[in-house]
Amino acid sequence: GDSVTQMEGPVTLSEEACLTINCTYTATGYPSLFWYVQYPGEGLQLLLKATKADDKGSNKGFEATYRKETTSFHLEKGSVQVSDSAVYFCALSSYYNQGGKLIFGQGTELSVKP
């Protein structure tokens, strides 16, 4: 079945460091791909999305490119801030799933130190 695999956390970085969180997927057909973020004590918020191969999603300085050839959707940011500390979830939604459910990776906790 469809699945998402993320790099293990936690990831600890200093402010202004570069961030990459790896995400790979297995899916039938051509899924839509998402990154969600969960700040401490809050729910899941959509960070960015991409709906087809080579699309780049971006928001708040974060970017991710839908790579069909490597079945990947890695999250990147050039310079992280303390306020980026959160848990990041990669997810996919399959066109063939009429109910529209999301399948999540296990989440990667990011901690940014001043």
CA 69 – CA 3 distance, rounded (Å)? 16
How many other CB atoms sit within 10 Å of the CB of residue 94? 19
Tokens of 71: 């079945």
Does position 95 interact with other proteins (CB under 8 A)? The reply is yes
Helices (H), the chain: none
> Is residue 87 within 8 Å of residue 37, measured between CB atoms?
yes
Mode of pairing for the β-strands spanning 86-93 and 32-38: antiparallel
- Taking contact as CB under 8 A, which single stretch among the options 12-20, 42-50, 66-74, 78-86 is the one that binds other proteins? 42-50
Count, residues in the chain? 114
Among 32, 47, 64, 112, binds other proteins (CB under 8 A): 32
Does position 60 interact with other proteins (CB under 8 A)? The reply is no
Among 45, 79, 81, 83, binds other proteins (CB under 8 A): 45
Among 23, 27, 49, 84, binds other proteins (CB under 8 A): 49
- Taking contact as CB under 8 A, which single stretch among the options 10-18, 41-49, 63-71, 77-85 is the one that binds other proteins? 41-49
Which residues are near other proteins by CB under 8 A?
32, 34, 36, 41-46, 49, 51, 89, 93-107
